[in-house]
């Protein structure tokens, strides 16, 4: 899932931010830039519960450049298929800054979703922009992340969009976590808003991680095919497996 990959990238960025704060406290020189990457294979690329690749296996890759004082920029790409292999891929560009609010991480993100080969004739663009606000706090082994998102113009000219979500992650062991997300999406011209959810577990070993979870939405089949996604059963529930290979610093 895209969210899982972004959580991994976010963890790397937060770690870099924590390192920055420690360096400042010690009056040490400002930390250098770091370039991290994640290569991913998913059994189905789901975005907010909806399949973006016709429930097919999906290769994905991302790069994140972390800068001093909590700044970062990232690029993420994945194969897509909304019907007839159109578009064939997604390329997201985003950047932001982490702030330490007394042990709570505030992440402000400017996020652009692009579909460079989307064929729409004279129709509206599929690409769109979001502003994201994320708050993350750890309570021992339990980490809670709350997110709020606003888009002035959602994909395909469908009007303003709003999204909220909450994710809980519990560390069972140093190599195993269980997690769950629930989110709600509103779009101005949608026939109705919807809720999505997922729950599963992630195992890590060195630079590898394997995630398995169930993903579902409350979108009916008619609303799914007429507005949210043209491909059959894109909004129905299913299990998703995600294999990640993480490189912490490509500049070393």
Residue 117 CB contacts under 8 Å (≥ 6 apart), including other chains: 86, 87, 88, 89
What's the whole-model pTM score? Answer: 0.88
**At residue 7, what are phi and psi to the nearest 5 degrees?**
-65, -40
Which phi-psi region, left, alpha or beta, contains residue 137 (left: φ > 0; alpha: ψ -120 to 50)? Answer: beta
Confidence of residue 29 (pLDDT cuts 50, 70, 90): low
What's the mean pLDDT in 116-144? 94
Q: Is the pLDDT of residue 23 over 60?
A: no
Could you report how far apart the first and last alpha carbons of the chain are, in Å?
28
Q: How far apart are CA 95 and CA 72, in angstroms?
A: 6
Residue where the block lists tokens 């973006």 = 52
Q: What is the pLDDT of residues 131-162, one digit of tens each?
A: 999 999 999 999 999 999 999 999 999 999 99
Q: What pLDDT, on the 0 to 100 scale, is given for residue 123?
A: 84
Q: Locate the domains of the chain by residue range.
A: 2-247
Chain centroid to CA 211: how far?
A: 14
Q: What pLDDT, on the 0 to 100 scale, is given for residue 122?
A: 77
Question: Out of 9-13, 82-86, 154-158, 230-234, which region has the weakest mean confidence (pLDDT)?
Answer: 9-13
Q: Is the pLDDT of residue 115 over 50?
A: yes
What's the mean pLDDT in 50-70? 97
Q: Is the pLDDT of residue 61 over 70?
A: yes
| Whole-number average pLDDT of the chain | 90
Q: What's the CATH superfamily of 2-247?
A: monomeric porin ompg (2.40.160.40)
What's the mean pLDDT in 201-220? 97
């Amino acid at each position: 899932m895209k969210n899982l990959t972004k959580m991994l990238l976010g963890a790397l960025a937060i770690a870099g931010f924590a390192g920055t704060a420690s360096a400042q406290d010690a009056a040490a020189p400002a930390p250098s830039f770091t370039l991290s990457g994640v290569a991913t294979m998913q059994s189905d690329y789901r975005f907010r519960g909806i399949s973006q690749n016709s429930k097919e296996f999906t290769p994905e890759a991302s790069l994140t450049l972390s800068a001093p004082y909590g700044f970062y920029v990232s690029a993420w790409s994945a194969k897509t298929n909304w019907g007839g292999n159109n578009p064939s891929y997604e390329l997201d560009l985003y950047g932001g800054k982490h702030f330490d609010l007394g042990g709570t991480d505030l992440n402000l993100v400017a996020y652009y979703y692009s579909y460079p080969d989307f064929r729409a004739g004279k129709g509206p663009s599929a690409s769109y922009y979001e502003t994201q606000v994320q708050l993350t706090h750890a309570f021992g082994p339990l980490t809670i992340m709350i997110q709020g998102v606003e888009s002035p113009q959602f994909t395909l000219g469908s009007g303003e969009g709003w999204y909220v979500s909450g994710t809980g992650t519990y560390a069972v062991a140093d190599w195993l976590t269980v997690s769950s997300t629930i989110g709600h999406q509103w779009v101005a011209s949608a026939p109705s808003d919807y809720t999505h959810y997922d729950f599963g577990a992630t195992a890590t070993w060195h630079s590898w991680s394997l995630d398995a979870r169930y993903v579902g939405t409350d979108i009916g089949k008619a609303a799914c095919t007429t507005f949210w996604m043209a491909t059959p059963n894109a909004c129905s529930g299913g299990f998703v497996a995600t294999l990640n290979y993480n490189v912490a610093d490509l500049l070393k």
